[in-house]
Amino acid sequence: MNVRRYAAAVVYWSFAIRLPWSPRPGGRAAKQIRWWLGRQMLDECGRDVSLEKGAWFGSGKGIRVGDRSVIGLDCLVIGPLVLGEDVMMGPRCTILGVNHRTDSVDVPMNAQGLEDERPVVVESDVWIGAGSTILPGRRIGKGSIVGAGAVVTKDVEPYSIVGGNPARLLRRRTP
């Protein structure tokens, strides 16, 4: 980790992660501080990005966030992740770009290590509802909505609304 990213991470994890949520008093300044730190930590961080209170994204390595997008309140991101422009993310979402190995029944799963990283791609103008989980290697198409609490195990076509566990197509949006 380079010095700039490391220094920003120390400040983010020391206090900025606990600064107020954007809509609360003091939230506008908190949003600006977290955005500035995000620009130092993330591989890419667009204009007017909101990294909300409690957003967890490690060192930011492997994570790219487009203009006007949000990593929501208390969200967990384990990259790699590409977040397009104008993405809304509700509270407590989980995005995973890697998973545990489970190949062998002779070795405890916690001793098998991790699978290869599989990037999650969330295209532009997507709304990810509160408490949703997106599993490794998934693509969420442009203009889609992932319903609250959904578990995305398959790619989501553009302009789709999905929900449930596992997430399934509920209906299509007309572009």
Report the C-alpha gap between 61 and 98 in whole angstroms: 13
Report the C-alpha gap between 52 and 68 in whole angstroms: 13
Q: How many CB atoms lie within 10 A of CB 174?
A: 6
Question: Tokens for 59?
Answer: 């060192």
- Rounded to the nearest angstrom, the gap between the alpha carbon of residue 33 and the centroid of all alpha carbons in its chain is 19
Is 100 a residue of the active site? yes
Q: How many CB atoms lie within 10 A of CB 11?
A: 16
For residues 58-94, one letter each, b for 16 or more C-beta atoms within 10 angstroms of the residue's C-beta and e for the rest, the string is ebbebbbbbebbbbbbebbbbbbbbbbbbbebbbbbe
Q: Which of 100, 171, 172, 173 is catalytic?
A: 100
Residues forming the active site: 100
